[in-house]
């Protein structure tokens, strides 16, 4: 989905669910109402794959306004403190590399993080003190695209759990002043690009939604694969482990033995063959994780490598 400004991520999911007559739906990575851009949505059985889709790298175009902090770290909040001087473009360029890699980031006060069993944003709205512990996050790209002396446009690529609002706030503080996130557009999540996404007004009926559905393997392109036999698929389908050396590493898999906790898509040749469906004749069997004792199924999708019945419950909308 290419989400419009002013809509919450849940509102988009609720609209799709209603159009499909109550089919279960979930989004892979929330966008704030003021933000626009890519919001992957999974339907029916595919909601079990949400966490794996959401784990993909997220790409953004962000507009950071210098000179003023806000209580929400974005343009929807109330100003905090006096206005500060805006930095020079060269100072921004020098500061950006300091935010690359694995960093500790304090989430915004107005966020969905839990504090004592309550959402941080609920405490903040009630005027209660909010103290959030830093989280370890990953920033792969932070590049200055343009600057008019007050508002900078940045290209960002980040890992799961990274708040662009917090990056804007911290960048302002690092430069000796203040800043907030003025606008945000998500351009990609994992293998998906917003250029291929549908707008909500294009999905006004069931047929339009079904026409946008993708095979589950398309949603999991970024996860390396294991090619398993029918016997191994049956074991995974019953929640059993298979030895790490039993399955053949498929294209995209890292060489060598897997580290504990590494995730793979277990795939099998379609049985019986169904022509050009699926991913080059492969069917998703399960998403598995490496343990010292073998590959453990996290989610079983299609035991035995047989294509499940067609319908809106087996795929994801981009």
Structure tokens at 100: 């690359």
DSSP summary character for residue 303: T
Burial status of residue 264 (CB atoms within 10 A of its CB: 0-12, 13-18, 19 or more): buried
Report the SS3 class of residue 184.
strand
Structure tokens at 257: 């033995």
CB atoms within 10 A of CB 76: 14
In the block, which residue shows the tokens 């006004």? 204
Distance CA 231, CA 238 (A): 11
Q: Are strands 179-189 and 36-38 parallel, antiparallel or unpaired?
A: parallel
Yes or no: say if 45 and 302 are a contact pair by the CB < 8 Å rule. no
Beta bridge partners of 42: 26, 316
| Torsion angle, alpha carbons of 161, 162, 164, 165, to 10 | 70
Distance CA 1, CA 268 (A): 29
Length of the chain in residues, anyone?
A: 318
The residue from 2, 4, 32, 73 that is catalytic is 32
Helices (H) and strands (E) in the chain, counts: 8, 21
**32 among known catalytic residues:** yes
In the block, which residue shows the tokens 């109402």? 33
Which residues, including other chains, have CB under 8 Å from residue 299's CB and lie 6 or more apart?
Answer: 48, 49, 52, 286, 287
Yes or no: say if 151 and 87 are a contact pair by the CB < 8 Å rule. no
Where in the sequence numbering do the catalytic residues fall? 32
């Amino acid at each position: 989905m290419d989400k419009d400004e002013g809509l919450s991520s849940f509102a988009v999911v609720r609209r799709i669910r209603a159009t499909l007559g109550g089919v279960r739906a979930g989004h892979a990575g929330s966008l704030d109402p003021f933000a626009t851009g890519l919001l992957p949505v999974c339907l029916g059985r595919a909601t079990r794959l949400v966490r794996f889709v959401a784990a993909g790298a997220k790409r953004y175009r962000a507009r950071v306004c210098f000179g003023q902090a806000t209580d929400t770290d974005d343009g929807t909040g109330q100003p905090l403190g006096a206005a500060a001087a805006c930095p020079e473009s060269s100072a921004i360029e020098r500061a950006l590399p300091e935010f690359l890699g694995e960093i500790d980031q304090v989430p915004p006060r107005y966020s969905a993080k839990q504090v004592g069993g309550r959402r941080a944003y609920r405490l903040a709205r009630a005027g209660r003190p909010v103290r959030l512990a830093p989280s370890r996050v990953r920033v792969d790209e932070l590049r200055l695209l343009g600057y008019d002396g007050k508002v900078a446009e940045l290209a960002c690529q980040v890992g799961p759990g990274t708040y662009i609002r917090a990056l804007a706030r911290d960048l302002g503080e690092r430069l000796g002043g203040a800043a907030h996130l003025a606008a945000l557009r998500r351009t990609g999540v994992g293998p998906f690009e917003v250029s291929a996404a549908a707008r909500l007004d294009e999905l006004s009926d069931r047929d339009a939604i079904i026409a946008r559905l993708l095979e589950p393997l398309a949603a999991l392109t970024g996860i390396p694969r294991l090619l398993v036999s029918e016997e191994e698929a049956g074991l995974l389908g019953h929640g059993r482990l298979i030895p790490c050396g039993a399955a053949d590493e498929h294209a995209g898999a890292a060489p060598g033995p897997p580290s504990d906790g590494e995730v793979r898509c277990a795939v099998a040749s379609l049985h019986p063959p169904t022509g050009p469906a699926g991913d080059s004749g492969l069917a998703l069997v399960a998403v598995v994780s490496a343990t010292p004792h073998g590959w453990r199924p996290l989610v079983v999708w299609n035991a035995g490598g047989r294509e499940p019945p067609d319908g809106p419950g087996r795929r994801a909308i981009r």
